[in-house]
């Protein structure tokens, strides 16, 4: 399995750390950028993407994740929107957290879909107010969206969608460890 995590200048690294850790048990983690340039996360981590979006074989993607960050930094990225529309049409799991769902809205893939976001939905085209859910995480078939503060639940829900847990006990242990800080 291959998990692609989209990185860009000012992305919120903390929002996808647990997601990548949980997915790593069953998946290869690949960071993807718009180019090969190093980016700095909101926390100050400098990261060079493994691959450039134009190099990704979209038929090999099992999960595509967009962390939050300032959506204005990205501007309009038709290559990203084309990627998202293709993955959505194939029903490949796609996930976005905090302001990440702005990219789903810009790609036009939120039509008739339930979602959540930390972004102001009135500030961007493509968000349907009637489908906004005031919840931490929303799963609508293969699309997972979350508020930034729900990064642990986001990671857990992605794991459920991708069936990475060995059984219910494994899921329970994961929830207890990451959400409730229990090691037993």
> Would you state the CATH architecture of domain 2-180?
3-Layer(aba) Sandwich (3.40)
pLDDT tens sequence across 118-137: 999 999 999 999 999 999 99
> What per-residue confidence (pLDDT) applies to 80?
98
* 141 — pLDDT class (breaks 50, 70, 90): very high
Q: Where are the domains of the chain?
A: 2-180
Burial class (CB in 10 A: 0-12, 13-18, 19+), 36: exposed
Q: Which residue has the tokens 């750390």?
A: 17
pLDDT tens sequence across 19-68: 999 999 999 999 999 999 999 999 999 999 999 999 999 999 999 999 99
Answering whether pTM is above 0.75, one says yes
Three-class HEC string of 66-89: ECCCCHHHHCCCHHHHHHHHHHHH
pLDDT tens sequence across 95-104: 999 999 999 9
């Amino acid at each position: 399995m291959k998990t692609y995590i989209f990185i860009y200048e000012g992305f919120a690294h903390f929002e996808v750390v647990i997601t990548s850790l949980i997915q790593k048990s069953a998946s290869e983690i690949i960071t993807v950028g718009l180019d090969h340039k190093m980016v700095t996360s909101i926390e100050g981590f400098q990261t060079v993407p493994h691959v450039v979006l134009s190099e990704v074989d979209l038929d090999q993607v099992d999960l595509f994740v967009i962390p939050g960050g300032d959506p204005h930094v990205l501007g309009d990225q038709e290559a990203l929107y084309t990627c998202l529309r293709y993955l959505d049409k194939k029903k490949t799991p796609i996930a976005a957290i905090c302001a990440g769902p702005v990219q789903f809205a810009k790609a036009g893939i939120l039509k008739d879909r339930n979602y959540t976001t930390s972004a102001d939905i009135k500030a961007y085209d493509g968000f349907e107010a009637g489908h906004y859910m005031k919840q931490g995480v929303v799963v609508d078939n293969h699309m997972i969206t979350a508020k930034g503060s729900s990064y642990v639940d986001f990671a857990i829900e992605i794991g459920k969608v991708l069936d990475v847990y060995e059984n219910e006990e494994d899921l329970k242990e994961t929830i207890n460890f990451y959400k409730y800080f229990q090691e037993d």
